[in-house]
Chain A
Amino acid sequence: MNPLPIRLFCLTILLFFPLTVITPVKAQDLTIDLSDPVVAITAGFAGTDVLLFGATREEGDLVVVVRGPQERHTVRKAERVAGVWINTQEATFVDIPAYYALASNRPISGFVNTVDANIHQIGVDQLTFIPDQHQKPVDDIASFEKALIRLKQAEGLYSTDAIDLFYLGNGLFRTTIHFPANVAVGTYGIDVYLFKDGELMESRTSLLNVRKFGVEAQIYDFAHRHSLAYGILAVIIASVSGWLANAAFRKS
């Protein structure tokens, strides 16, 4: 074995060891897991629940934040022009989570201070909105940010109130995260923050994968990878079904 990596490893241990000793929180104060790390979108998919459970050595206040893949989002505002409602202004934000859910054992205003909420983006009102650089400026960008949250909540993709998180005794806790049918595909980050007396003590991160499975995934894939073949096939399927329908009803 090459001695260099081993030496580096020892050096790293020596460097960081003092730090781990003086940190007040012991590792593994917080453990989490998911009932299933994969959400499978299949033919009958109508949304699903994922169970998040875990344990803390001592019961504290817990916040679970689930963030979907970061995507560009465009918010458009309609105005009445000559009697008709027309989209007149638009604001595009980069890196906005496609999904955002929050769970806690009690209202977060009771224990999360504004600094922590801001740093870790706990709560939809704490999301950072970065407008696209190339866009035209709009009046009152804040109204667009609020609208984005409101629209996402209406689609069931952002939680309106914190979901209940329950302590089951002996530091065990559980919560259920709901993913609606229109959930985006991608990697979701699940962060659990443990607070004690309003101080952030520890956090754990887990990942969840939302993927399409089965025929639906193959169709989607085919449509995007071989668009021309897909189009030709769609036309052929339609023509044949039309011909079959005609033949079937001519006899009867």
Chain B
Amino acid sequence: MEIYLPIAEVSVNIFLILGMGGGVGFLSGLFGVGGGFLMTPLLIFIGIPPAVAVATEANQIVASSVSGVLAHWRRGNVDFRMGAVLLLGGVLGSTFGVWLFTYLRELGQIDLVIKLSYVVFLGIIGMLMLIESINVMLARRKSGTVQAKRRHHTWIHHLPLKIRFRRSKLYISALMPMALGFFVGVLASIMGVGGGFVMVPAMIYLLGMPTSVVVGTSLFQIIFVTANVTLLQSLTNQTVDVILALLLLIGAVIGAQFGARAGAKLNGEHLRGLLALMVLGVCLKLSLDLTLTPDELFSLGTGGHE
């Protein structure tokens, strides 16, 4: 059954979209990640204009983050103070990001920048995760126990504007989480992701937050950042397709439930290794797209400078 998407201005098979939402939702439930980094490239792949894919995916992430944060909130795993500082940076960053997005789109370089950002970030994150999970697996095989990481005192702790984050058991400068929020906000608006895959590791390794509050706090601030992206993209580019977002949402919500159930039965380290391989797979596919000689050197863009 075909459905015409009013903003994307293309017809798509309704079951394909629901299936994609379900599939990515399953993976995000399984691995506990947002899935934006998989969904946006998939949407572009099936012929949704990249600008619409990025903006619409931001809208969908609002929904999945709200859904996710409620569960963490009930368990008290959200550091609202840290979330507020992160989202302050995030809102600024995503506002700058949407402006940058619009500018790059006019230049005709947005597709390149989207793909390059994916290659760089997925490559780094994927490698780090793979190394980490292999190390843990090896260590476990050797000694049977895993040593806890020690927190280092670095230059980060000498920055001004120190704030006490009780829930995270931290006393650090607000500048650091704000800068992190800003950076992830820019990524969110350009890549059409929540940015959890950058935010979560950065919160653990850079800020030294306890793992228990990391996901809930990250989801909390992602709601506001993606809501800001949705709003600004609607305002400046009119690229948010609510019909597409709703269809993706339905599939994702159902898929995520099954994914979470399947995830509970699997070993955590194996799961992380699997996710790392998947991230690297997407990264490899995109880098091949960028470096292999394409069949068609020319591309068509409508509009330009009106």
Contacts and interface: CB of A to CB of B under 8 A. Distances in A.
Nearest to A81: B112
10 contacts: A77-B297, A78-B298, A90-B301, A234-B59, A235-B230, A238-B63, A239-B63, A239-B66, A246-B67, A246-B70
B174 interface: no
Interface string A59-93: 00000000000011111111110011111001010
A149 to B, nearest CB: 10
B11 A45 contact: yes
A75 B299 contact: yes
A132 B304 CA distance: 10
Interface stretch (A122-130, A195-203, A221-229): A221-229
Given A74-B108, A76-B298, A84 B290 contact: yes
A41 B71 CA distance: 41
Interface stretch (B137-145, B236-244, B276-284): B236-244
B294 A92 contact: no
Contacts of A239: 62-63, 66, 223, 227
A228 B251 CA distance: 27
Interface in B257-306: 257, 290-291, 293-294, 296-306
Interface of A: 41-47, 71-80, 83-87, 90, 92, 132, 134, 143-144, 147-148, 150-152, 154-155, 181-182, 212, 215-217, 219-220, 223-224, 227-228, 230-235, 237-239, 241-243, 245-246, 249-250
Contacts of B301: 73-76, 90
B163 interface: no
Given A220-B6, A223-B7, A151 B235 contact: no
A87 B299 contact: yes
Interface in B206-248: 223, 227, 230-236, 238, 240, 242-243, 245-246
Given A181-B11, A223-B234, A237-B246, A74 B300 contact: yes
B302 A43 contact: no
A245 B67 contact: yes
Contacts of B9: 182
A238 B299 contact: no
A129 B296 CA distance: 21
Contacts of B306: 72
B298 A181 contact: no
A219 B243 contact: yes
B249 interface: yes
Contacts of A143: 298
Nearest to A144: B298
B204 interface: no
Given A75-B301, A227-B236, A234-B234, 9 more contacts: A72-B304, A75-B300, A148-B298, A230-B234, A230-B240, A230-B242, A235-B59, A235-B62, A245-B253
A250 B71 CA distance: 9
B4 interface: yes
B64 interface: yes
Interface residues of B, number: 57
Majority SS of interface residues in chain B? helix
B126 to A, nearest CB: 19
A248 to B, nearest CB: 8
A154 B2 CA distance: 21
B108 A76 contact: yes
A140 B185 CA distance: 41
Contacts of B71: 246, 250
Contact of B4 (A43, A237, A242, A245): A43
Contact of A238 (B4, B11, B230): B230
B196 to A, nearest CB: 15
Contacts of B112: 84, 86-87
Can you list the 7 inter-chain pairs with the closest CB atoms, starting with the nearest? Answer: A231-B234, A242-B66, A147-B298, A181-B11, A242-B63, A238-B62, A242-B67
A219 B6 contact: yes
Contacts of A231: 230-235, 240
Contact of A216 (B6, B66, B238, B299): B6
A242 B65 contact: yes
Contacts of B257: 249
A166 B71 CA distance: 66
A241 B303 CA distance: 34
Nearest to B10: A182
A238 B59 contact: yes
B3 interface: yes
